[in-house]
């Protein structure tokens, strides 16, 4: 039995026809030119239609959507989606009406984690903790083969745990979140602030003086080259990530810790901080038998997981 998986990002909507084993049979991607709920629903419908056409018109039984944001447990209402500028959008109901299919909406990390559990690095485990650091910081808890969603559906929001009282403002609107210091968008924002201050000749050289050329990789390169300001931002982010993840390992005692996302994939220094943090700060007993693995499915994890969650 095949289902539709949707990965809704801030710039694209991806759709895939996925079989019951987590194999992608056909897929399509459509750019978001507008971010209003009505416009995004139409883009998702276009991507879904293209994927179904590529799949030869296969019949699907349900649709799962992974979206970046805080999502109410049963209603499919997106409470907060910073990348889209949404608050309290009933995406599940809007899509079900448009597609004529039952739709399940989950956090994008929940979808990615479910994909990794069933078709990637989590296979064979029942207690898994998944952390992705990309534009933001997301995580998901799987205990005894079940998603831990919490009473309101927002359990596992590691990126919005507080690490600095009244600190930097996060995209969620609150102050001092981990994501505000270690998420990709906010690493770039801090590096641009450093560049504007004139205190980083190394960063200026690497970016050619253009703030728009700065990425988390640029920041790590400047830190590695000895730039003190870049090193401060980089090491603070790595320390915060490492300790936060280590504390979750202590609390949850997972059999497997899966890490991924573009920032950790392309910034080996930050990934090293995470590994060192887990070794230094997780309790000894929680580290016994812990396997740390890199995510295996890349950008497809959310598509696969969303589709499998639709069943």
Percentage above 90 pLDDT, the chain: 84
pLDDT tens per residue across span 19-28: 999 999 999 9
Per-residue pLDDT tens for 48-66? 999 999 988 788 999 999 9
Query: How much is the pLDDT for 80?
Result: 84
User: pLDDT tens, 138-196?
Assistant: 999 999 999 998 888 888 889 999 999 999 999 888 999 999 999 999 999 999 999 99
Q: What is the model's pLDDT at position 251?
A: 97
- 292 exposure class (CB count in 10 Å sphere: 0-12, 13-18, 19+): middle
| pLDDT for 171 | 85
Q: Which long-range contacts (CB under 8 A, 24 or more apart) does 95-101 make?
A: 95/41, 95/44, 95/45, 95/63, 95/65, 98/41, 98/42, 98/44, 98/45, 99/4, 99/44, 99/45, 99/48, 99/63, 101/4, 101/60, 101/61, 101/62, 101/63
Q: What is the pTM of this model?
A: 0.91
Domains and CATH numbers, the chain: 2-116+299-309 (3.30.420.40), 124-295 (3.30.420.40)
Residue 11 pLDDT more than 90? no
Give the pLDDT of residue 70: 85
And the tokens for 83? 């990348």
Q: How far is CA 202 from the centre of its chain?
A: 30
Q: What percent of the chain has pLDDT over 70?
A: 100
- Could you give the CA distance from residue 13 to residue 34 in angstroms, rounded to a whole number? 12
Query: Model confidence at 82, in pLDDT bands (50, 70, 90)?
Result: confident
pLDDT of res. 149: 87
Q: What is the arithmetic mean of pLDDT over 71-96?
A: 89
The answer for residues whose C-beta is within 8 angstroms of residue 205's C-beta and 6 or more apart is: none
């Amino acid at each position: 039995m095949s289902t539709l998986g949707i990965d809704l990002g801030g710039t694209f909507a991806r759709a895939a026809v996925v079989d019951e084993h987590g194999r992608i049979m056909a897929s399509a991607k459509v750019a978001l030119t507008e971010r209003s709920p009505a416009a995004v629903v139409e883009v998702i419908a276009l991507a879904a239609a293209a994927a179904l056409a590529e799949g030869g018109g296969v019949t699907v039984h349900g649709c799962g959507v992974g979206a970046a944001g805080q999502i109410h447990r049963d209603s499919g209402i997106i409470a907060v989606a910073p990348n889209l500028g949404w608050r309290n959008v009933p995406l599940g109901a809007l899509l079900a009406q448009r597609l004529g299919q039952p739709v399940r909406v989950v956090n994008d990390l929940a979808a990615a984690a479910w994909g990794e559990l069933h078709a990637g690095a989590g296979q064979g485990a029942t207690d898994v903790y998944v952390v992705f650091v990309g534009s933001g910081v997301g995580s998901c808890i799987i205990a005894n083969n079940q998603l831990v969603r919490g009473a309101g559906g927002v359990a596992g929001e590691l990126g919005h745990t507080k690490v600095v009282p009244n600190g930097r403002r996060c995209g969620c609107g609150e102050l001092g979140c981990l994501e505000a210091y270690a998420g990709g968008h906010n690493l770039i924002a801090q590096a641009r602030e450093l560049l504007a201050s004139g205190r980083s000749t190394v960063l200026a050289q690497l970016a050619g003086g253009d703030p728009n050329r700065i990425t988390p990789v640029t920041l790590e390169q400047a830190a590695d080259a000895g730039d003190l300001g870049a090193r401060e931002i980089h090491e603070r982010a790595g320390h915060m990530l490492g300790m936060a993840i280590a504390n979750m390992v202590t609390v949850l005692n997972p059999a497997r810790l899966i890490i991924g996302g573009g920032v950790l994939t392309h910034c080996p220094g930050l990934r090293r901080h995470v590994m060192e943090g887990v070794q230094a700060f997780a309790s000894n007993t929680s580290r016994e038998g812990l396997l740390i693995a890199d995510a295996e499915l890349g950008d497809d994890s959310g598509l696969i997981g969303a589709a499998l969650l639709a069943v």
